[in-house]
Structure 1
Amino acid sequence: MNAPTHMMPGMPGMPPPIPMPGVVPPPPRIPKLPPPTEPCQTLYIRNLPETRALTALESALKALFSQFGEVVHIRLKRNISLRGQAFVTFKEVDSATKALKEVQGFPLSGKPMDIQYSRNRSDKAAELEGEEALQEHKRKRAEEKANRHKKPKDEKVDAAAVAAVYGPGYYYGAAMPEDMVPPNSILFVQNLPPETTEAVLAALFQQFQGFKEVRLVPGKSDIAFVEYESEMQAGVAKQSLNKFKITPEKEIKVTYAKK
């Protein structure tokens, strides 16, 4: 029997997604605020499949995260503009911490999940401690909301703390390293000899399928952009020509262009 059409790879009853050979998953995002480093029972998850089948998505999340401990609540963002986000609350903080480390980047329906601790304690987590704790939690939340505009907008980032929780690949407040730029159809070429012409570069890169054009940068004789029809075709050229010696002294550097 075929699986229901609303089910996605990675969901219970469906095989896990098979990564394409040579395809590198996108690097972690650069968030607007530093991710929280204080462990809590609730995880905030983004980059989920933006599906209307929310019941199926909730079931998939429950099956996935229950492997790490008791899940007491899952809240999905239902607004169209906020789809692809969810909060998962565990009974124990240790379970949330283990899930964060183990599930970070897991491709649910082909989309790697971006997970961090929630900035705010959930009502469900407070409710586990009793009605009095829940009411105190709600009082503090209302107080914090009223005073939020008084807090400075800029937060100091403890880079070591962020790296300890999320790993060294979670870049906050810094330019993304060139080697971590996600694959796309445009290549960035550096370390070109000053005398390099558009014709010379075109002859070098057009030997690979999908070549479209070369774009030199006015006033910058050592860099250029090369565009292909697809990111896969660009990837082949990148892999073949990175560190290619265009002259005996000049080894060019080829990376994906930042967008």
Structure 2
Amino acid sequence: MQANHTLYVRNLNERVALKTLKTALEAIFSGFGEILQIRAKSNIKLRGQAFITFKEVESATKALNEVQGFPLFSLPLDIQYARDRNFIFSIEDGTLEEHKKRRAVEQAERASLPKKARSDVPTLGASGWFPGGAPMPAEFLPPNSILFIENLPTETTDEKLADLFQQIPGFKEVRLVPGKSDIAFVEYETEAQATIAKQQLNMFQILPGREMRVSYARK
């Protein structure tokens, strides 16, 4: 398939909240170049997949090659170039009218779905986002069984981080983010277990003077 700005990502874990998936995808793919858009939906037809549009084709190509098969929330990512051009570039190359026609067909199909299935995930404070879509500060995020780890030393490995977090009962897995050596996600079996880990390990110094920040991942 011809290289283009947009990647089609499949095999996303459907049990993970949509906003958590988007946050994870942004963290993973932003290390390869400027991202213009991440599209992922919660309805039945589109669950488990996403479209990620980069400003540069080269960034998309590098991300496809390096992130292919990366296990996100226990499932390996299946990445291809998208078949369809993104709306952003349709405007630039003069194919906007054709794009609008396709969108009209998609919207008609979407309108035939039950209201709950076709609606986007609301951006409410309780879900980790303020009204209007503005991200809620990390300290106010609601509990989540998945933790977001920041400010890690560059030389941190999966094994080193796992040794630290598996001291808390319920530990499931840790995933460093390709292209972003200072962040990771850690998952526990329950929100309560993740909360204990957050309380005990937030601001822990893996190296002297380097305090690790631990917060709930956005839902």
Report the TM-score, using the length of structure 2 for normalisation: 0.44
Larger Rg: 1
TM-score, scaled relative to structure 1: 0.37
* Larger strand fraction of residues: 2
